[in-house]
A and B are shown apart, each in its own frame.
Chain A
Amino acid sequence: MTKFGYVSVEDYVPLVGEFAESLVKGKIFATKCKACGKEYFPPREECICLNDEMEKIDLDTSAKLVSYTIIHVPPESHSTMAPYIIAIGEFPNGLKTMAHLVGVTSMDDLKIGRPMKLVPQTLENERIVYKFVPA
């Protein structure tokens, strides 16, 4: 079964497993609190309002580039990948997340505010992650 993340050991967490299965199908979900309406991405199983009844919602994966950096000295888990770009993107619902930014072909792709899209990407060893690509 496909697992989420580059190195995560939390395969037993149902939410993470479901998240990976969804990514395999090309869908990225966020979660939303049924009591107060607060949305979470990456998804959470309980809300800060202390309610734990959450529903899955489709994430609008269009995002704007907030910041990025090019990593030249990576941790052990990414030792063969450097240099790589990690970016923060902001979604239309105001939530922000961090992910690798791939498919950059010019400096224009790295302008702050540049439209991006969050997409699933399958890795080796039956693993899957999400990454930003320029939109």
Chain B
Amino acid sequence: MNKVVVASATMTPFTDHYDRDIRDLASEAIRDIFRKTEIERSAVDGLVIGSMASMSFTNQGNLGALIASENNLNSASFTVEAGEASGQAALRAAYSLIKSGMHETVLVLGLEKVTDIVKLPEILSVVNHVNMDSRWEADIGLTLASSWAMIAKSHMSQYGITREQIASVAVKNHYNATFNPFAQFKSKLRIETILRAPALASPLTLFDTCAAADGAAAVLLTTEEKAKSFTDQYIHVKGTGLAHGTLRIAERDRLYSIPAIKKAAKDAYEMAGISPSDIDVAEVHDSFTIAELIALEEMGIFEPGQSGPATEDGRTKKDGDRPINTSGGMKARGYPFGAAGIAQVVEIYEQLLGIAGERQVADANIGVTQALAGTGGTSVVHVFGTA
């Protein structure tokens, strides 16, 4: 069977690109891939785009045809949408296209231009209606912040973790982002700043979540055989998992756990033949601080209830024993929805090749990415390896 590898990776800076449009961001990422990779554009026979809500944000659909034609790509092109997990879902689709033998080389582009909408409540409405049950939950004025707030309260009461431990996720991710030239926020954040910030939905504050950001990220997927013809800088895609849970949060049995993450991780680990203790570095979904803590527990990196204390103790910092979100995560690297899932792969690509500069963790051979839509609608997990 074909071994699928990531043979090139890039991203634009993630920030409020107020003066650039969705085409411009896409082109920058795609052009950078071809500038730094010894491959002809004609060799790329597929383009899969992960984008969450380009219609709502920019009034532009069918990005596949638009972006492919504007960049002279003669490839089969289409967009994948799975809410906030769109980028990682696109990666899974591209992987299966190559694994099946249908395509040999597929460019995967994560793309989102959010700030054409300038009013935060309008951005929230889009995000809520994409990722939540529109009729029964989003329409009543529930937000993702309030959903995560209820999850945080449930997790705190179940395991006795503290508000400070939850906030320490943001402190750590901001610290990591100070070493990432493409990050939106390259500034440190103090626990006190988070706790004293304006409330979003109790107990979470403004600094428990991300800011609006735009950006694009791209990775080139191909077979190992093909990759060898033009580069020695590639990593293996070893496993993929995708699972879903109910969109309606009220339907869940337990608010403090997210079964979709556990299922996606289990499937990806089994396919890759690894266990959680083999993971050297991971990029996980941290749209809200509490999301990272729950992801680490569902992924088996820490026991239930232990990710809060571990984060507070610095174990997940870039120089800790379980480095998590060395890029700065969505929280500080920035979170242009569809682009973020591919930016996670960009980080793991650099870590496993040992080219992550000041963010480099020691002896990184197995890296994992995890994405989530809403509070558990869809989760996607991928496992990457140096061999």
Question: Which chain A residues have a beta carbon within 8 Å of chain B's beta carbons?
Answer: 5-8, 10, 16, 42, 67-79, 81, 84, 86, 88, 96-100, 129
Contacts and interface: CB of A to CB of B under 8 A. Distances in A.
Contacts of A88: 150, 249-250
Given A71-B141, A72-B198, A97-B250, 8 more contacts: A7-B139, A72-B202, A73-B200, A75-B124, A77-B141, A81-B141, A84-B141, A96-B250
5 contacts: A67-B255, A70-B202, A73-B145, A75-B141, A76-B124
A108 to B, nearest CB: 17
Interface string B136-168: 111111110110011001100000000000000
Given A68-B150, A69-B150, A74 B143 contact: yes
A10 B141 CA distance: 16
B121 interface: yes
A5 B133 CA distance: 13
A72 B135 contact: no
B124 A73 contact: yes
Contact of A10 (B119, B120, B135): B135
Contacts of A78: 141
B154 A6 contact: no
B144 to A, nearest CB: 10
Nearest to A73: B200
Given A74-B141, A75-B143, A5 B135 contact: yes
Contacts of B150: 67-69, 88
Given A67-B153, A73-B201, A16 B141 contact: no
B128 interface: yes
A16 B120 CA distance: 30
Contact of B140 (A6, A16, A69): A6
A6 B141 contact: yes
Question: Quick one: which of B120, B137, B139, B251 has the most chain A CB within 10 A?
Answer: B139
Contacts of A97: 136, 250
Residue among A8, A70, A75, A76 with max Cβ neighbours from chain B (10 Å) = A75
B24 interface: no
A80 B172 CA distance: 35
B321 interface: no
A8 B135 contact: yes
B278 interface: no
Contact of A98 (B120, B149, B249): B249
A73 B154 contact: no
Contacts of B249: 88, 98
Interface in B100-153: 119-122, 124-125, 128, 134-143, 145-146, 149-150, 153
B201 A76 contact: no
A96 B120 CA distance: 30
Contact of A100 (B125, B128, B141, B199): B141
Contact of B122 (A68, A71, A76, A84): A76
Given A67-B154, A86-B141, A74 B121 contact: yes
Contacts of B124: 73-76
Nearest to B199: A72
B163 to A, nearest CB: 14
Contact of A76 (B121, B199, B200): B121
B139 A6 contact: yes
A74 to B, nearest CB: 6
A77 B136 contact: no
Interface string B323-356: 0000000000000000000000000000000000
A100 B141 CA distance: 9
Interface string B251-267: 10001000000000000
A71 B146 contact: yes
Nearest to B152: A69
Contact of A86 (B128, B142, B153, B248): B142
Contacts of B251: 96
Contact of A42 (B136, B199, B201): B136
A85 B137 CA distance: 13
A6 to B, nearest CB: 5
A125 to B, nearest CB: 14
